């Protein structure tokens, strides 16, 4: 199916999915903690939009609830929590990238090409709009892992983890029209609990090391415990 054969909803879903991947590259390029938080919130808004569009097209009420849960957790609560922590410990403008930004972006581009190549055999067995979204979802997940590798601040690594979850959620919504409602509620609850645990971990880390740099965790040893 080419673009001209898609209806308006399908074109909007595909465009928003491409923007999700673009936001992953923006996350990868951000060098400030506060900018990373804002970019993650924008990516989550796109996930909410895609879920809502799929819910309307497929007439699936549970996807509307999923969109609402995503809005509350990833667009409002988690960015607010991370923003509050960054403001409390005055790291909003702290630089957070361990390698050359140009090299990181080149690595991201290579990952995107690799994901599209890997997705080709899968796409042969898929029809309709979900074909290109498989590669987009894989790229979003892999770029989330790259964020985890290239960031030193714990807050940015949490955002990388959440970006991975966004990629998996995009694949579930677009390729399979969503997971069962009970599974989606369970995932949302797990994300909420993870956000709270991360918040507690941040405060403990700041109290112990006076820094959010994860390299300080290398100072821990069994003898210290």
- Integer CA distances (angstroms), 164 to 140, 149, 225, in order: 7, 13, 32
Give the single-character DSSP code of 99.
Answer: S
pLDDT tens figures, 174-208? 766 656 655 566 566 666 666 666 666 655 555 55
pLDDT tens figures, 118-144? 888 776 666 555 667 888 989 999 999
- Integer CA distances (angstroms), 173 to 49, 134, 142, in order: 11, 11, 18
CA separation for the pair 126, 197 (Å, rounded): 38
The model carries a pTM of: 0.79
CA separation for the pair 144, 128 (Å, rounded): 26
CA separation for the pair 150, 157 (Å, rounded): 9
CA separation for the pair 124, 109 (Å, rounded): 23
Report percent pLDDT > 90 for the chain: 16
Segment 66-92 shows an average pLDDT of 82
CA 26 to mean position of chain CA atoms: 11
| SS3 (DSSP) at 153 | strand
How is the chain split into domains, by residue range?
3-219
pLDDT tens figures, 115-125? 888 888 776 66
The pLDDT, as a whole number, for residue 139 is 93
pLDDT tens figures, 23-52? 999 988 887 888 888 999 999 999 999 988
């Amino acid at each position: 199916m080419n673009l001209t054969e898609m209806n308006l909803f399908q074109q909007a879903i595909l465009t928003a999915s491409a923007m999700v991947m673009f936001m992953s590259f923006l996350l990868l390029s951000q060098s400030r903690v506060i900018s990373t938080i804002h970019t993650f919130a924008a990516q989550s808004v796109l996930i909410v939009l895609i879920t809502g569009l799929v819910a309307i097209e497929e007439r699936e009420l549970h996807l509307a609830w999923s969109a609402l849960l995503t809005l509350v957790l990833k667009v409002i609560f988690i960015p607010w929590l991370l923003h509050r922590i960054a403001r409390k410990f005055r790291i909003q403008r702290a630089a957070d990238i361990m390698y050359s930004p140009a090299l990181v972006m080149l690595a991201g581009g290579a990952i995107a090409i690799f994901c599209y190549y890997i997705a080709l055999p899968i796409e042969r067995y898929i029809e309709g709009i979900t074909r290109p979204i498989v590669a987009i979802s894989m790229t979003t997940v892999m770029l989330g892992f790259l964020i985890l590798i290239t960031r030193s601040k714990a807050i940015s690594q949490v955002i990388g983890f959440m970006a991975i979850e966004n990629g998996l959620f995009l694949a579930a919504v677009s390729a399979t029209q969503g997971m069962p409602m009970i599974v989606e509620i369970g995932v949302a609850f797990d994300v909420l609990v993870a956000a709270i645990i991360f918040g507690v971990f941040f405060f403990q880390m700041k109290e112990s090391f006076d820094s959010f740099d994860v390299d300080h965790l290398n100072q821990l040893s069994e003898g210290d415990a």
